[in-house]
Amino acid sequence: MSDIIDPAVSDYLLEHCTPADDVLRDLAAETRDTFPGEAGMQISHDEGELLTMLVKLTGARLAVEIGVFTGYSSICIARGLPKDGRLLACDVSERFTDVARRYWARAAVDDRIELTLGPALETVQALSTDPVVDFAFVDADKTGYPGYYDALIPRLRPGGLMVLDNVLRGGRVLDPEHEPDVVVRDLNNRIVSDDRVESVMLPVRDGVTLVRKRG
């Protein structure tokens, strides 16, 4: 993956956002130690703080997360919800989410999180078609992004927000050579012309797109 920003600037960014607490630091360390080959799937702390702030700013009560991994982003989203809020967390891996469950409990947000193991698209499609979702975070298999987007938009309330991660694919969306990059590039193009939403792509880590459903 190419660096979007200089590593020194990256370190400076991390030093100038709300610092991680012991729970998040321990979770990041255990993820690196236990899953060294997959640890890169975990979001960075500054992106986690961005998620928490966006959830708070939208006043979200019902959030959906597609792609849990070891639960770092889940904690960040859940911490932005009110105490009676709910996060529907979707993943297919019990191996990763067993770690997530332990840290959700340590963070005292497990009462706000409902984990569903199975294909996320089926989980989302089973939700009411009424626009009840306030916030959605998509960070899973990239070839599945178009399906997740199409299933979530009708269920997102007017003014609701969707955040899609890894939309730059390490810069490969500029010159894609294999399927995940083509799929993400095509979705990026489709989002910007979707008159149901307004969107902005940000160079946060590997790129995030904020998609707000028009009222």
Give the model's pLDDT for residue 126: 94
Q: Are 99 and 71 in contact (CB under 8 A)?
A: yes
Which residues make Cβ contacts (< 8 Å) with residue 43, sequence separation at least 6? 51, 72, 73, 76, 139, 165, 205
Give the model's pLDDT for residue 180: 83
Domain limits, the chain: 7-213
| Residue 3 in this model has a pLDDT that exceeds 70 | no
This prediction has a pTM of 0.94
Q: Are 208 and 202 in contact (CB under 8 A)?
A: yes
Residue 187 in tokens: 């979705």
CA angle 14, 76, 45 (to 5 degrees): 15
pLDDT above 90 covers what percent of the chain? Answer: 84
Q: Are 63 and 85 in contact (CB under 8 A)?
A: yes
Give CATH for domain 7-213: 3.40.50.150
Average pLDDT over residues 90-112: 97
| Residue 1 in this model has a pLDDT that exceeds 50 | no
What is the per-residue pLDDT across 109-145, written as a single tens digit (0 to 9) for each? 999 999 999 999 999 999 988 889 999 999 999 999 9
| Residue 213 in this model has a pLDDT that exceeds 70 | yes
Euclidean distance between CA atoms 195 and 191, whole angstroms: 8
| Residue 170 in this model has a pLDDT that exceeds 90 | no
How would you write 39-56 as a 3-class SS string? HHHCCCHHHHHHHHHHHH
Average pLDDT over residues 192-208: 95
Rounded to a whole number, what is the largest CA-CA distance in the chain?
46
